Homo-oligomer: A and B are copies of this chain.
Amino acid sequence: MSKVSPLVDGLIEAMQCLPGVGPKSAQRMVLHLLERNRDGGILLADIMAKAIEGVGKCQKCRIFTESEVCAICSNEKRDKSCICVVESVSDVFAIEQSNQFNGNYFILHGHLSPIDDIGPDQLALEKLFNLAKSEEVKELILATNSTLEGETTAHYIYDYLKDLDDLRLTKLAQGVPLGGELEYVDRGTIMHAFSGRVELKE
Protein backbone atom coordinates (compact mmCIF):
# COMPACT_ATOMS: atom_id res chain seq x y z
CA MET A 1 0.00 0.00 0.00
CA SER A 2 1.28 3.38 -0.92
CA LYS A 3 -0.65 5.70 1.43
CA VAL A 4 0.11 8.36 -1.20
CA SER A 5 -3.29 8.44 -2.87
CA PRO A 6 -6.58 7.14 -1.43
CA LEU A 7 -7.94 6.62 -4.96
CA VAL A 8 -4.93 4.59 -6.11
CA ASP A 9 -4.92 2.59 -2.87
CA GLY A 10 -8.68 2.02 -3.17
CA LEU A 11 -8.33 0.76 -6.73
CA ILE A 12 -5.49 -1.61 -5.75
CA GLU A 13 -7.73 -2.91 -2.96
CA ALA A 14 -10.80 -3.27 -5.20
CA MET A 15 -8.79 -5.04 -7.92
CA GLN A 16 -8.22 -7.91 -5.50
CA CYS A 17 -11.85 -8.98 -5.83
CA LEU A 18 -10.77 -10.59 -9.11
CA PRO A 19 -9.84 -14.28 -8.74
CA GLY A 20 -6.11 -14.96 -8.69
CA VAL A 21 -5.22 -11.31 -8.08
CA GLY A 22 -3.26 -10.54 -4.89
CA PRO A 23 -1.79 -7.27 -3.61
CA LYS A 24 1.30 -7.43 -5.85
CA SER A 25 -0.46 -8.10 -9.14
CA ALA A 26 -3.25 -5.66 -8.24
CA GLN A 27 -0.59 -2.96 -7.81
CA ARG A 28 1.00 -3.90 -11.11
CA MET A 29 -2.37 -3.76 -12.89
CA VAL A 30 -3.31 -0.38 -11.42
CA LEU A 31 0.04 1.24 -12.23
CA HIS A 32 -0.10 -0.24 -15.73
CA LEU A 33 -3.55 1.26 -16.31
CA LEU A 34 -2.58 4.69 -14.93
CA GLU A 35 0.76 4.73 -16.70
CA ARG A 36 0.03 3.23 -20.08
CA ASN A 37 -3.59 2.49 -20.78
CA ARG A 38 -6.04 4.98 -19.30
CA ASP A 39 -8.36 4.67 -22.30
CA GLY A 40 -8.44 0.89 -21.92
CA GLY A 41 -9.20 1.31 -18.22
CA ILE A 42 -12.06 3.72 -18.84
CA LEU A 43 -13.51 1.30 -21.39
CA LEU A 44 -13.08 -1.64 -19.02
CA ALA A 45 -14.78 0.19 -16.13
CA ASP A 46 -17.65 1.20 -18.40
CA ILE A 47 -18.32 -2.25 -19.88
CA MET A 48 -17.87 -3.89 -16.47
CA ALA A 49 -20.60 -1.71 -14.96
CA LYS A 50 -22.86 -2.29 -17.99
CA ALA A 51 -22.34 -6.06 -18.02
CA ILE A 52 -22.93 -6.53 -14.29
CA GLU A 53 -26.00 -4.30 -14.52
CA GLY A 54 -27.39 -5.79 -17.72
CA VAL A 55 -26.47 -9.47 -17.74
CA GLY A 56 -28.94 -11.89 -16.20
CA LYS A 57 -29.75 -15.54 -16.78
CA CYS A 58 -31.44 -16.98 -19.88
CA GLN A 59 -35.02 -17.96 -19.01
CA LYS A 60 -34.54 -21.33 -20.62
CA CYS A 61 -31.00 -22.56 -20.01
CA ARG A 62 -29.77 -20.12 -17.31
CA ILE A 63 -26.66 -19.06 -19.20
CA PHE A 64 -25.49 -15.46 -18.67
CA THR A 65 -27.10 -13.18 -21.26
CA GLU A 66 -28.58 -9.72 -21.56
CA SER A 67 -31.56 -11.07 -23.52
CA GLU A 68 -34.51 -12.96 -22.05
CA VAL A 69 -33.60 -16.01 -24.10
CA CYS A 70 -29.98 -16.59 -25.12
CA ALA A 71 -28.53 -16.98 -28.60
CA ILE A 72 -28.14 -20.74 -28.19
CA CYS A 73 -31.71 -21.36 -27.03
CA SER A 74 -33.17 -19.14 -29.75
CA ASN A 75 -31.02 -20.69 -32.51
CA GLU A 76 -33.44 -22.63 -34.70
CA LYS A 77 -30.64 -24.76 -36.12
CA ARG A 78 -29.82 -26.37 -32.79
CA ASP A 79 -31.35 -29.61 -31.62
CA LYS A 80 -33.85 -28.78 -28.87
CA SER A 81 -34.46 -32.45 -28.12
CA CYS A 82 -31.05 -32.94 -26.53
CA ILE A 83 -30.11 -31.01 -23.37
CA CYS A 84 -26.62 -31.03 -21.89
CA VAL A 85 -26.70 -30.34 -18.13
CA VAL A 86 -23.54 -28.62 -16.84
CA GLU A 87 -22.42 -27.04 -13.59
CA SER A 88 -21.18 -23.71 -14.90
CA VAL A 89 -21.08 -21.33 -17.84
CA SER A 90 -17.39 -22.03 -18.39
CA ASP A 91 -18.34 -25.65 -19.15
CA VAL A 92 -20.61 -24.36 -21.94
CA PHE A 93 -17.72 -22.27 -23.35
CA ALA A 94 -15.45 -25.34 -23.33
CA ILE A 95 -18.03 -27.58 -25.02
CA GLU A 96 -18.89 -24.91 -27.61
CA GLN A 97 -15.21 -24.59 -28.48
CA SER A 98 -15.00 -28.31 -29.22
CA ASN A 99 -17.77 -27.89 -31.83
CA GLN A 100 -19.00 -31.37 -31.00
CA PHE A 101 -22.43 -30.63 -29.61
CA ASN A 102 -25.39 -29.09 -31.36
CA GLY A 103 -28.06 -29.41 -28.71
CA ASN A 104 -29.12 -27.03 -25.97
CA TYR A 105 -27.80 -26.58 -22.45
CA PHE A 106 -29.03 -26.29 -18.92
CA ILE A 107 -26.68 -24.58 -16.48
CA LEU A 108 -27.04 -25.53 -12.82
CA HIS A 109 -24.69 -22.77 -11.56
CA GLY A 110 -23.19 -25.09 -8.97
CA HIS A 111 -23.71 -28.56 -7.53
CA LEU A 112 -25.62 -29.98 -4.59
CA SER A 113 -23.73 -29.14 -1.43
CA PRO A 114 -25.73 -29.23 1.81
CA ILE A 115 -22.74 -27.85 3.71
CA ASP A 116 -22.90 -24.62 1.65
CA ASP A 117 -26.69 -24.56 1.76
CA ILE A 118 -26.99 -25.36 -1.95
CA GLY A 119 -30.01 -27.56 -2.54
CA PRO A 120 -32.30 -28.36 -5.48
CA ASP A 121 -33.84 -24.86 -5.37
CA GLN A 122 -30.52 -23.05 -5.88
CA LEU A 123 -29.77 -25.23 -8.92
CA ALA A 124 -33.30 -24.70 -10.32
CA LEU A 125 -33.78 -28.46 -10.56
CA GLU A 126 -37.58 -28.04 -10.63
CA LYS A 127 -37.15 -26.09 -13.88
CA LEU A 128 -34.87 -28.81 -15.27
CA PHE A 129 -37.32 -31.56 -14.34
CA ASN A 130 -40.20 -29.75 -16.04
CA LEU A 131 -38.05 -29.30 -19.12
CA ALA A 132 -37.14 -33.00 -19.09
CA LYS A 133 -40.80 -33.96 -18.85
CA SER A 134 -41.76 -31.79 -21.83
CA GLU A 135 -42.57 -33.51 -25.13
CA GLU A 136 -39.76 -32.02 -27.17
CA VAL A 137 -36.89 -33.23 -24.96
CA LYS A 138 -35.65 -36.74 -25.81
CA GLU A 139 -32.23 -36.88 -24.16
CA LEU A 140 -30.52 -35.39 -21.14
CA ILE A 141 -26.70 -35.56 -21.04
CA LEU A 142 -25.60 -35.27 -17.42
CA ALA A 143 -22.24 -33.52 -17.86
CA THR A 144 -21.60 -32.38 -14.30
CA ASN A 145 -17.99 -32.46 -13.13
CA SER A 146 -16.39 -35.78 -12.35
CA THR A 147 -16.07 -34.88 -8.66
CA LEU A 148 -17.91 -36.26 -5.66
CA GLU A 149 -20.34 -33.32 -5.63
CA GLY A 150 -20.79 -33.38 -9.41
CA GLU A 151 -21.51 -37.12 -9.43
CA THR A 152 -23.91 -36.74 -6.51
CA THR A 153 -25.79 -34.01 -8.34
CA ALA A 154 -25.97 -36.12 -11.52
CA HIS A 155 -27.21 -39.07 -9.49
CA TYR A 156 -29.90 -36.96 -7.85
CA ILE A 157 -31.16 -35.84 -11.26
CA TYR A 158 -30.92 -39.39 -12.63
CA ASP A 159 -32.87 -40.74 -9.68
CA TYR A 160 -35.70 -38.29 -10.17
CA LEU A 161 -36.03 -38.82 -13.91
CA LYS A 162 -35.10 -42.48 -14.40
CA ASP A 163 -38.71 -43.63 -14.64
CA LEU A 164 -39.63 -41.36 -17.54
CA ASP A 165 -40.00 -43.80 -20.39
CA ASP A 166 -39.44 -41.47 -23.31
CA LEU A 167 -36.31 -39.83 -21.93
CA ARG A 168 -32.78 -41.02 -22.65
CA LEU A 169 -30.36 -40.24 -19.79
CA THR A 170 -26.64 -40.33 -20.64
CA LYS A 171 -23.33 -39.20 -19.23
CA LEU A 172 -20.00 -38.34 -20.89
CA ALA A 173 -17.54 -41.14 -21.61
CA GLN A 174 -14.78 -41.47 -19.03
CA GLY A 175 -11.25 -42.61 -19.82
CA VAL A 176 -7.72 -41.61 -20.60
CA PRO A 177 -7.59 -37.99 -21.88
CA LEU A 178 -6.30 -37.30 -25.39
CA GLY A 179 -2.53 -36.85 -25.36
CA GLY A 180 -2.37 -38.00 -21.74
CA GLU A 181 0.59 -40.16 -20.82
CA LEU A 182 -0.54 -43.25 -18.97
CA GLU A 183 2.26 -42.76 -16.45
CA TYR A 184 0.69 -39.52 -15.20
CA VAL A 185 -2.97 -40.53 -15.30
CA ASP A 186 -4.57 -40.94 -11.86
CA ARG A 187 -5.71 -44.27 -10.49
CA GLY A 188 -9.43 -43.58 -10.71
CA THR A 189 -9.21 -42.61 -14.37
CA ILE A 190 -7.21 -45.73 -15.20
CA MET A 191 -9.83 -47.80 -13.40
CA HIS A 192 -12.62 -46.23 -15.47
CA ALA A 193 -10.59 -46.60 -18.66
CA PHE A 194 -10.10 -50.33 -18.01
CA SER A 195 -13.66 -51.10 -17.05
CA GLY A 196 -14.95 -49.16 -20.06
CA ARG A 197 -12.42 -50.62 -22.51
CA VAL A 198 -13.50 -50.85 -26.13
CA GLU A 199 -13.45 -53.90 -28.41
CA LEU A 200 -11.06 -53.44 -31.36
CA LYS A 201 -12.17 -56.43 -33.46
CA GLU A 202 -15.55 -55.68 -34.97
By the criterion CB–CB under 8 Å, are A10 and B52 in contact?
no
Q: Which of A59-67, A123-131, A157-165 contacts B (4 or more CB under 8 A)?
A: A59-67
By the criterion CB–CB under 8 Å, are B31 and A88 in contact?
yes
Instruction: Report A1-29 CB contacts with B as 1/0, cut-off 8 Å.
Output: 11111111011001101111000010111
By the criterion CB–CB under 8 Å, are B4 and A70 in contact?
yes
Name A35-70 residues within 8 Å CB distance of B: 35, 37-38, 40-55, 63-67, 70
Interface of A is mostly: helix
Q: How many whole Å from A173's CB to the nearest CB in chain B?
A: 25
Contact partners of A4 in chain B: CB under 8 A: 63-65, 70-72, 92
**Contact-size category for A:** 35 or more
Report the nearest B residue to A38, measured CB to CB: B52
Contact partners of A32 in chain B: CB under 8 A: 18-19
A-to-B contact residues, CB < 8 Å: 1-8, 10-11, 14-15, 17-20, 25, 27-35, 37-38, 40-55, 63-67, 70-72, 88-90, 92-93, 96, 109
The 4 closest A-B pairs by CB, nearest first: A17-B40, A45-B48, A45-B49, A11-B51
Q: Given A2-B96, A3-B96, A11-B48, 15 more contacts at CB 8 Å? A: A2-B93, A3-B71, A5-B55, A5-B67, A7-B47, A7-B50, A7-B54, A7-B66, A8-B64, A11-B47, A20-B25, A31-B88, A31-B89, A41-B48, A46-B49
